[in-house]
Chain A
Amino acid sequence: MHNVAIKSKEVTLLEVLDRVLNKGVVVSGDIVISVADVDLIYLGLKVLLSSVETMEQLRGSPFVGPMQEAT
């Protein structure tokens, strides 16, 4: 049963990581000196690729307009 305990800790860590590292409000601006910068690039790409579906859900109509940009 020891192994299950270790694996349970690992899956808990993955769940935490998934939220803490991937989510969270982005409050970037030229006044911030250190954000997880590379993550923003990553976020930008993801927003680019998945924004169509998300935007359609939010607005209920085909997406028209500029997309949200992170830095």
Chain B
Amino acid sequence: MTLYTYGIIDSSDQIKESIYGPEGSGVYNIPYCDIGVVVAELNEPVQNVSKSSVLAHEEVIERLMEHFTILPVKFHTVFDGRNSILSMMQSYYKHFKDNLNRLRDKVEFGIKVIWPADKIKKSIRNSRKKGEHEMPIPDGSLNKNFVRKKLEKYKINEEFEQKAYKFINVMDIFFSKFAAEKVLKKLKTENLLLDAAYLIDKDRQADFKKAFEHIKNAHTGFKFLFSGPWPPYNFVICRRKVSYLKIPNKKICLIK
């Protein structure tokens, strides 16, 4: 009987709701001390990674989130039985407990911002043309011209990035007022100014949403995406070091 795993919850209680796993069997909690692992039984050890299986998986996690703090495990983590799970919990207990305590009553929200990169670059180029008075590299060889062109590109890019960071900073200061933690990805592409995850207290959700609306209205010409509440996907800290010693016919797992 293989066990398809959803995540670690901060409870050893049984799951009261009827939630169903990939093969239609009920989702239940395997307790370990004061926490537990939420699983569903499988006959087929390998499930297909498909749109519907991923959405169904997330749907289960969202429902669990209504009642528990949950640390989602990597998609398609499957154990070969209860003993394996208990053994795993023994190794990871403290690590999970710390994460659960840190993330209790908090949810994740995602904010993505697209800005008009082309327009911004154009305006930088235009203002540079107007201010052109320095010619640091004398016109001449193929190589020197190459450097000159590269340098100009570089300077435009630097200005472009500085502008980006200024905008991001303004937004981030606003959002951070309500956030316990954050993960920011700046200028993932030229157009994707910001891809951010914020960890928000459950009872400050409304304030956070208001802050988002305020920023959105203050930046016409920018495009926004708001998502959540999610389980804390971006905020589970994985610092465990696991190394393996391979001895012929035996695999010993050393966990630091």
A interface list, Cβ under 8 A from B: 11-13, 15-17, 19-21, 23-36, 39, 66, 68-71
Contact = CB atoms under 8 A, between A and B. Distances in A.
B55 A15 contact: no
Interface in B205-256: 225, 227, 230, 233-234, 236, 238-244, 251, 253, 255
Contacts of A12: 227
Contacts of A32: 77-80, 84, 88
Contacts of A36: 49, 74-76
A70 B77 CA distance: 14
B87 interface: yes
A34 B88 contact: no
B78 A25 contact: no
Contacts of A17: 54
25 contacts: A13-B51, A13-B55, A15-B227, A17-B54, A19-B72, A19-B230, A20-B233, A21-B75, A23-B233, A23-B236, A24-B233, A25-B7, A25-B8, A25-B236, A29-B88, A31-B84, A32-B80, A32-B84, A34-B45, A34-B46, A35-B76, A39-B74, A66-B241, A68-B240, A69-B242
B92 interface: yes
Interface residues of B, number: 44
Interface of B: 2, 5, 7-8, 45-46, 49, 51, 54-55, 57-58, 71-80, 84, 87-88, 91-92, 110, 225, 227, 230, 233-234, 236, 238-244, 251, 253, 255
A29 B84 CA distance: 10
Given A20-B54, A25-B8, A33 B225 contact: no
A13 B227 CA distance: 12
B77 A20 contact: no
A66 B91 CA distance: 20
Contact of A25 (B73, B76, B91, B230): B73
Contacts of A25: 7-8, 71-74, 236, 238
A40 to B, nearest CB: 8
B79 A33 contact: yes
Given A19-B230, A24-B233, A31 B87 contact: yes
Contacts of B230: 19
B241 A20 contact: no
A24 B79 contact: no
Contacts of A20: 54, 57-58, 72, 75, 233
Contact of A28 (B8, B57, B241, B242): B242
Contacts of A27: 5, 73-74, 77, 88, 92
B95 to A, nearest CB: 9
Contact of A34 (B57, B72, B78): B78
B253 A30 contact: yes
Nearest to A16: B58
